[in-house]
Amino acid sequence: MTVAVVTGAANGLGQTFALALARARYRVAGFDVAALDETENLVEAAGSELLPVRCDVRDPESVDAAVEAVVREFGALHVVVNNAGIYPPIPFADTTIDDWQRIMRVNLDGPFLVTKAAVPHLRAAGWGRIVNIVSAVVFLGPPELVAYTTSKAGLVGFTRALATELGPDNITVNAIAPGLTHTATAARTTGAHGGFERVRDLQCVPRIEEPEDLVSTLLYVCDKGSGFLTGQTINVDGGSAKH
């Protein structure tokens, strides 16, 4: 059976992704610094099982131990979904070096560390899928998100370069770029100020994006049959950014 890791799986998009993969009969491990009880309960209610792993994606030792726990439990690893991320809206003039480094450590160092720990196991399995969750902001460049946009643009570059390196190993690397999606975190940081409605009005599809709108794309890029798709950034934002 195919084994997948989803980072940032305690809530939001990560929780939706973990549940969707479990429903698609993947064996799923969820990584998060927070408790994964809610995600575990949802997955169990769907008739599947989640391996919850406390993991700080900024910490190499924590990441290495988490990946080893997955392989020890499931015997293999095939799919990595680098979803964990933070996006505090901060005007550029107010952005401190500590703010900048905090965002980069989660949004760029995290995928690097998780992927680096996972790749030997994907190679051992003979195939793999690495999926990096970026953002439509890399095409739009909105205000107050300079650090976040930079981190996600860096993750697009990581996706492209790594796809070139890992293609001969039958490992694909792709990115999915959501628009502003209706999660609890987005509601706290952006939705309270009318952000959902402003973004909706820029879209071709005139409704607010929900986490479930990303599931079909995730399942497509993770599928073993999608071995000829790599190095791509797939924009799933209702048409607000066209490229």
CATH number for the domain spanning 139: value is 3.40.50.720
* Assigned domain for 206 exists: no
Burial class (CB in 10 A: 0-12, 13-18, 19+), 17: buried
Per-residue burial over 167-176, b if 16 or more Cβ lie within 10 Å, else e, is: eeeebbbbbb
CA distances from 110 to 5, 52, 86, 89, 140 (A): 13, 18, 11, 20, 24
* Assigned domain for 42 exists: yes
* Assigned domain for 169 exists: yes
Residue 81: which domain range?
3-182+211-236
Domain tally, the chain = 1
Catalytic residue among 26, 87, 148, 220: 148
In tens, the pLDDT along 217-237 reads 999 999 999 999 999 999 998
* Assigned domain for 196 exists: no
Q: Is 148 a catalytic residue?
A: yes
* Assigned domain for 195 exists: no
* Assigned domain for 33 exists: yes
* Assigned domain for 140 exists: yes
* Assigned domain for 203 exists: no
The verdict on pTM exceeding 0.85 is yes
In tens, the pLDDT along 52-76 reads 999 999 999 999 999 999 999 999 9
